C-alpha cells in the first residue's frame, strides 16, 4: 500500500513535470536571444568539427558527421 | 561622416512635410501587427566570415576561410550558401615508431625519400593540400509546424573529391516547445592519392629511387590509382524547451561508412624482439564502419550569462568508444560585448586493430586481418581551453576573436615496448594553437 | 483617478438608452464618461456591441493604466532595471511610441511621465526649481529604453506612461471591434476622443457633445460661449461624418507665478512647459491615435501649433 502511494506520488510528480515543461509564446524573451540558440556560433562549430574530425576518431553527434574531406 | 551629415540635413525639411504620412504608416503597423523596424530589413543577405589558423608545434599548420551568405525570404524560406577554403601544410605522423638510429622512408608518391633522425617520431613532411568546399542549404516551412530542409555539398582537394546531399524534416509540437527532427545524409567520396592506392601490408619500397627498375618495383606495391567510400548518416533529434531559461537537445545518430577507409599514407613498423624496425608495411582497415552516437546539449540562461553544455557518447563496431564534454560560458560585458571561456574534454578508446607497431614474429606467423598505427584511432585523451571575445562594431555588426589551445595525449593501451622501444617516445603528445577571427555583417 | 481605479469593479456597468433611431450605451472608463452610439433598432445588437466595446476599453485600461498595480504598465515600471516580458500588443504600442518619439524629435516621449514628480498643475504658483526638474530628466529618455519583440528593459527609476496614447488607441480598437460586429453606423466616444465607422443614415454627420476639460474652462468665462450647447455650459457640439477626432490639452491644468502662466504641456527634452501653446487642440484624422498624436505634436510646437497643422493640411480647432 505504501509503495502504491509512493508510486502515485512519483507518477504525479513526473506527469506534472511533463506538463510544466515549456513556455508560453510571450515567455520566450530569453530563449529568443541569439546566444540561446542551440547552434549559436555555426561557423565556430563548422571549424571545430573540421579540426576534431581530422584529429580524432569521432565526428558528428550534433549534426551530420559524414564525409566531406580527405583529412581523416 | 560627410554622407551622414548630408543625409541628416536633407531629412529635416522632408520630415516636416511627412509627419502625417509617417504617422499613417506607424498607425497601420500598430493595427496590422507589423513592427516597423522588421519590415525594412527583410530580403537582405546576411554574411558571416571567419578566418582560422590552426598550428601544431613542429607539425601541420592549416589556414581556413569560411564565407557564409544567408538570405531569408518573406515566407521564412532560408537559403544558405557557404564557401570554405583551407590550406594545409607541414608534417604528419606516418605511423612508424621512433628508432635509436636514422630511418629512411619513401614518399607516398614514390618520388624520393626522407630521413628521420634517431629518436624522432617519423613525420612525413610532404603534406600540403588546398581544399575548396561549397555548401548550399534550403530551409522552408512546409506547414505551420513542419520545417523541411535540403542541401548539397561538394568538396574538392588535389587528391580527394566528396559529393553529398542531405535532407531534414522537423516537426514542432506543443507551441513549439517540443521539436522532433529526422534527417539523412549521403556522401560519395573518391580518393586519388598521389602514388596510387598501396597494397595492404605490402612492404614500403626503400632504396634508390633513381634506379631504372624503381618505378616498376614501386608499382608492385600498388593496387590501383583511386578508391572510394560512401557515408550514410541518419540523425534523429529531439529538442525540448524546459522553461524560460533552459532548452535541451537530444540527438541519436547512426552512420555507416562503406568502402576505402584505409589511410594510404600510413604505415606500421614491423619490429623484432629487440624493438628494432625490420620492415615498414602499409596499413589496412576494414571496409565498413558503423558509428553511433548519443548527443545531449543544454543551454541555460542565468541572469546574464549563458551556459552551453554538451556531452557526446560515440561508439562504433571498431570498438572505439569516446566521450566528449564541451562547455562554453558566455559572459556579457555590456554594450554588446562578451567573453566566452571554452573547455572541451575528449577521451577515446582504441580501435580493435590499432597497434603502435607489429611484432615481426606475430606478423609472420599469423598476420592480422587489419592493422593501423594511426594514433587517431588509438587510445587518447585531449582537451581544449579557449577564450572568445566578441563585440559589436559599427552598425551592429559582430566581430569576435577566439584563441584556443588544444592538447592531445595518445595513451598506452597496454602494448608492451620491447627492447629499444622502451626508450622511445611511442605516444608523442600534440599541442596546437587555434586562432580565429569572425566578422558578421 | 486612483480612487476611480480602485472602484473599477463596482463602477463597471453599462447603461443602455434608446433614442429615436439609435441606441446609446454609456459606461465609465479611463476616468471619463464613454459612449457607444449605434444606429439600429435591435436592442440585442446594441447591447452586444456596447458590451464588446466596453470590455475592450476596460481591458486596455487594465493593461496600460499606471494606476493599477497589476497592469502590464506597472509591471514594467516596477522592474528596477530588470528585463520584463512583453506581449505582441505591447511591443506594437512601444513601436508606435518610438515612431512618435522620432517624429517629434524627442519632445513626445512616453517616459516623460516622471516629470509629474516635479510638476503639479493644480492652478497654484508652485513652480518647481531647475534642480527638481533636472533630477526628473535623469530618468527620462526613450533612447535609454531597450526593447524587442519579447522584452523591455527600463533603466532604474524610469517609467512608462501610456496616458498620451492609451485612450485614443482604445477608441481605434473599439472601432475595429464594432466593424467586425456590424456594418451599421457606430460612433465610439471615450471622453471626447472619438471615432465613427461611417456617417449616419442618409449621410448625416454625427453630432456629439464633448465636455472636454480643455473646453470647460474657456466656456465658463469667455466669448466662445456662443458655440456651446445652451442646455449645458460644459458641452460643445461637434459634428463628424466619419474618421476620428481627438483633443489634447487641458486648460484647467496650469500654474501661475509672477503673472506667467505655465501650461501642462511639457517638453520631454527640457522638462519645462512649452511656451505659447494653445490651451487645447482638437484634430481630425482617419484614426483616433493619429489625431491624438497630431494634436499633441501641435501643442508641442507652442506658438506655431496652428501653423504646424496647417502645413500638414490637417483639420483642427485650437483654443487659446
pLDDT string in tens for chain B (441-residue length): 333 333 333 334 444 547 887 888 888 888 876 544 443 344 578 899 999 999 998 889 999 999 999 998 877 789 999 999 999 898 889 999 999 999 999 998 888 889 999 999 999 987 778 999 999 999 998 887 899 999 999 999 888 999 999 999 999 888 788 999 999 999 999 999 888 999 999 999 988 878 888 888 888 999 999 999 999 999 999 999 998 889 999 999 999 999 999 999 999 999 999 999 999 999 999 999 999 999 999 999 988 899 999 999 999 999 999 999 999 999 988 777 899 999 999 999 999 999 999 999 988 898 899 999 999 999 999 999 999 999 988 767 889 999 999 999 999 878 888 889 888 889 999 999 999 999 988
Same-domain check for residues C155 and C171: no
| Residue C17 in domain | yes
Cβ of B441 under 8 Å from any chain A Cβ?
no
Task: Please report the ipTM that was assigned to this predicted complex.
Answer: 0.84
Give the residue from C205, C232, C267 where a domain finishes.
C205
Q: Looking at the predicted structure, is the pLDDT value of residue A34 above 50?
A: yes
Domain that holds residue C16: 1-70+165-205
| Residue C229 in domain | no
Same-domain check for residues C181 and C133: no
* Pairing of the two strands C243-248 and C280-285: antiparallel
- With beta carbons less than 8 A apart as the criterion, state whether B292 and B254 touch: yes
Task: Please write the tens of the pLDDT for every residue from C203-243.
Answer: 788 887 766 554 544 433 333 333 433 333 356 677 788 88
Closest chain A C-alpha to B177 CA, distance in angstroms: 5
Residues 6 or more apart whose Cβ sits within 8 Å of residue C102: none
The reply to whether residue A26 touches residue C88, judged by beta carbons under 8 angstroms, is yes
- With beta carbons less than 8 A apart as the criterion, state whether C97 and C142 touch: yes
Same-domain check for residues C185 and C318: no
In chain A, which residue's Cα lies nearest the Cα of C153? Answer: A29
φ, ψ at B35 (rounded to 5°)? -80, 135
C249 exposure class (CB count in 10 Å sphere: 0-12, 13-18, 19+): buried
In whole angstroms, what is the distance from residue A67 CA to residue B131 CA? 14
Domains, chain B, ordered by start: 1-41 (no CATH), 44-440 (2.40.160.40)
pLDDT score at C221: 37
The answer for B 5-64 residues in CB contact with C (under 8 A) is: 15-17, 19-20, 22-27, 29-31, 33, 35-37
The DSSP H or E segment spanning C291 is helix C288-299
Closest chain B C-alpha to C304 CA, distance in angstroms: 13
Instruction: Give the CATH number for residue C307.
Output: 3.10.520.10
Structural domain total, chain C: 2
| Residue C295 in domain | yes
Same-domain check for residues C142 and C187: no
Same-domain check for residues C8 and C56: yes
pLDDT score at B28: 82
pLDDT score at C230: 38
Would you state the cell numbers that stand for residue C314, as one nine-digit string?
490637417
Please state, as a whole number, how many other Cβ atoms lie within 10 Å of the Cβ of residue B65: 13
Same-domain check for residues C267 and C156: yes
In whole angstroms, what is the distance from residue C318 CA to residue C320 CA? 6
Nearest-5° angle of CA A56, CA A59, CA A62? Answer: 140
Helices (H) and strands (E) in chain B, counts: 4, 23
Contacts of A37 in chain B (CB under 8 A): 299
pLDDT score at C5: 47
| Residue C230 in domain | no
The answer for B 68-127 residues in CB contact with A (under 8 A) is: 68, 82, 84, 86, 88
Cβ of C87 under 8 Å from any chain A Cβ?
yes
Same-domain check for residues C134 and C33: no
In whole angstroms, what is the distance from residue B126 CA to residue B106 CA? 11
Q: Contact partners of A by the rule of 3+ C-beta pairs under 8 A?
A: B, C
Same-domain check for residues C254 and C155: yes
Cβ of C150 under 8 Å from any chain A Cβ?
yes
Same-domain check for residues C103 and C156: yes
| Residue C173 in domain | yes
In chain C, which residue's Cα lies nearest the Cα of A27? Answer: C85
- pTM attached to this predicted model: 0.60
Closest chain C C-alpha to A28 CA, distance in angstroms: 7
In whole angstroms, what is the distance from residue B269 CA to residue B121 CA? 12
| Residue C222 in domain | no
Same-domain check for residues C141 and C86: yes
pLDDT score at B12: 40
In whole angstroms, what is the distance from residue B175 CA to residue A25 CA? 7
| Residue C216 in domain | no
Would you state the cell numbers that stand for residue C201, as one nine-digit string?
443614415
Same-domain check for residues C252 and C144: yes
Same-domain check for residues C199 and C142: no
Amino acid at each position: 500500500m505504501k509503495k502504491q502511494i509512493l508510486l502515485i506520488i512519483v507518477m504525479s510528480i513526473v506527469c506534472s513535470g511533463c506538463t510544466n515543461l515549456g513556455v508560453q509564446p510571450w515567455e520566450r524573451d530569453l530563449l529568443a536571444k541569439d546566444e540561446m540558440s542551440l547552434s549559436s556560433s555555426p561557423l565556430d562549430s563548422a571549424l571545430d568539427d573540421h579540426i576534431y574530425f581530422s584529429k580524432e576518431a569521432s565526428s558528428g553527434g550534433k549534426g551530420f558527421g559524414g564525409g566531406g574531406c580527405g583529412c581523416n | 561622416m560627410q554622407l551622414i551629415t548630408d543625409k541628416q540635413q536633407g531629412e529635416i525639411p522632408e520630415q516636416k512635410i511627412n509627419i502625417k504620412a509617417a504617422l499613417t504608416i506607424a498607425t497601420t503597423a500598430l493595427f496590422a501587427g507589423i513592427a516597423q523596424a522588421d519590415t525594412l530589413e527583410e530580403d537582405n543577405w546576411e554574411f558571416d566570415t571567419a578566418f582560422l589558423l590552426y598550428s601544431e608545434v613542429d607539425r601541420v599548420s592549416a589556414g581556413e576561410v569560411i564565407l557564409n551568405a544567408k538570405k531569408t525570404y518573406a515566407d521564412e524560406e532560408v537559403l544558405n550558401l557557404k564557401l570554405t577554403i583551407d590550406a594545409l601544410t607541414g608534417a604528419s605522423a606516418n605511423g612508424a615508431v621512433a628508432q635509436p638510429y636514422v630511418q629512411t622512408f619513401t614518399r607516398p608518391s614514390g618520388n624520393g625519400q626522407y630521413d628521420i633522425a634517431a629518436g624522432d617520431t617519423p613525420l612525413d613532411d610532404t603534406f600540403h593540400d588546398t581544399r575548396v568546399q561549397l555548401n548550399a542549404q534550403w530551409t522552408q516551412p512546409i506547414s505551420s509546424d513542419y520545417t523541411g530542409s535540403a542541401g548539397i555539398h561538394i568538396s574538392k582537394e588535389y587528391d580527394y573529391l566528396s559529393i553529398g546531399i542531405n535532407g531534414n524534416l522537423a516537426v514542432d509540437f506543443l507551441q513549439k516547445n517540443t521539436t522532433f527532427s529526422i534527417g539523412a545524409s549521403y556522401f560519395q567520396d573518391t580518393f586519388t592519392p598521389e602514388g596510387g592506392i598501396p597494397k595492404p601490408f605490402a612492404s614500403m619500397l626503400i632504396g634508390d629511387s633513381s634506379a631504372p627498375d624503381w618505378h616498376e618495383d614501386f608499382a608492385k606495391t600498388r593496387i590501383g590509382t583511386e578508391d572510394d567510400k560512401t557515408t550514410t548518416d541518419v540523425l534523429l533529434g529531439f529538442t525540448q524547451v524546459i522553461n524560460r531559461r533552459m532548452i535541451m537537445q537530444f540527438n541519436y545518430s547512426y552512420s555507416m561508412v562503406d568502402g576505402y577507409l584505409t589511410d594510404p599514407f600510413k604505415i606500421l613498423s614491423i619490429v623484432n624482439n629487440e624493438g628494432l624496425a625490420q620492415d615498414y608495411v602499409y596499413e589496412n582497415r576494414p571496409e565498413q564502419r558503423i558509428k553511433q552516437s548519443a548527443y545531449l546539449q543544454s543551454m541555460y540562461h542565468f541572469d546574464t550569462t549563458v551556459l552551453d553544455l554538451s556531452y557526446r557518447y560515440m561508439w562504433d563496431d571498431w570498438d572505439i568508444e569516446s566521450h566528449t564534454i564541451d562547455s562554453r560560458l558566455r559572459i556579457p560585458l555590456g554594450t554588446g560585448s562578451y567573453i566566452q571561456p571554452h573547455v572541451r574534454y575528449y577521451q577515446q578508446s582504441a580501435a580493435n586493430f590499432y597497434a603502435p607497431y607489429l611484432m615481426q614474429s606475430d606478423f609472420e606467423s599469423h598476420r592480422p586481418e587489419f592493422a593501423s598505427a594511426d594514433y587517431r584511432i588509438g587510445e587518447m585523451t585531449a582537451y581544449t581551453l579557449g577564450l572568445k571575445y566578441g563585440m559589436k562594431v559599427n552598425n551592429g555588426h559582430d566581430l569576435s576573436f577566439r584563441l584556443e589551445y588544444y592538447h592531445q595525449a595518445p595513451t598506452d593501451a597496454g602494448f608492451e615496448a620491447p627492447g629499444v622501444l622502451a626508450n622511445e617516445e611511442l605516444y608523442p603528445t600534440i599541442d596546437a594553437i587555434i586562432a580565429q577571427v569572425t566578422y558578421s555583417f | 483617478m486612483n480612487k476611480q481605479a480602485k472602484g473599477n469593479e463596482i463602477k463597471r456597468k453599462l447603461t443602455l438608452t434608446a433614442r429615436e433611431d439609435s441606441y446609446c450605451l454609456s459606461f465609465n472608463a479611463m476616468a471619463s464618461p464613454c459612449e457607444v452610439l449605434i444606429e439600429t433598432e435591435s436592442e440585442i445588437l446594441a447591447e452586444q456591441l456596447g458590451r464588446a466595446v466596453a470590455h475592450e476599453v476596460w481591458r486596455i485600461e487594465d493593461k496600460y493604466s499606471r494606476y493599477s498595480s497589476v497592469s502590464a504598465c506597472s509591471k514594467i515600471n516596477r522592474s528596477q532595471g530588470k528585463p520584463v516580458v512583453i506581449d505582441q500588443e505591447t511591443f506594437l504600442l512601444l513601436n508606435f511610441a518610438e515612431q512618435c518619439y522620432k517624429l517629434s524629435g524627442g519632445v513626445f516621449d512616453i517616459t516623460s511621465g516622471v516629470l509629474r514628480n516635479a510638476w503639479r498643475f493644480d492652478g497654484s504658483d508652485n513652480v518647481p526649481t531647475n534642480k527638481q526638474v533636472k533630477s526628473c530628466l535623469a530618468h527620462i529618455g526613450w533612447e535609454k529604453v531597450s526593447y524587442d519583440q519579447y522584452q523591455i528593459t527600463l533603466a532604474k527609476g524610469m517609467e512608462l506612461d501610456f496616458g498620451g496614447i492609451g485612450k485614443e488607441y482604445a477608441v481605434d480598437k473599439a472601432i475595429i471591434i464594432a466593424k467586425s460586429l456590424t456594418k451599421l453606423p457606430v460612433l465610439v466616444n471615450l471622453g471626447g476622443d472619438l471615432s465613427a465607422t461611417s456617417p449616419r443614415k442618409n449621410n448625416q454627420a454625427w453630432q456629439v457633445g464633448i465636455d472636454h476639460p480643455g473646453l470647460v474652462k474657456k466656456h465658463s468665462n469667455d466669448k466662445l460661449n456662443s458655440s456651446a450647447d445652451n442646455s449645458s455650459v460644459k458641452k460643445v457640439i461637434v459634428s463628424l461624418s466619419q474618421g476620428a477626432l481627438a483633443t489634447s490639452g487641458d486648460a484647467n491644468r496650469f500654474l501661475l507665478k509672477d503673472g506667467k502662466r505655465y501650461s501642462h504641456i511639457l517638453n520631454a527634452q527640457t522638462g519645462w512647459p512649452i511656451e505659447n501653446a494653445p490651451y487645447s487642440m482638437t484634430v481630425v484624422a482617419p484614426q483616433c491615435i493619429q489625431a491624438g498624436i497630431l494634436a499633441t505634436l501641435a501643442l508641442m510646437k507652442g506658438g506655431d501649433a496652428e501653423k504646424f497643422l496647417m502645413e500638414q493640411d490637417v483639420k483642427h480647432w485650437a483654443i487659446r
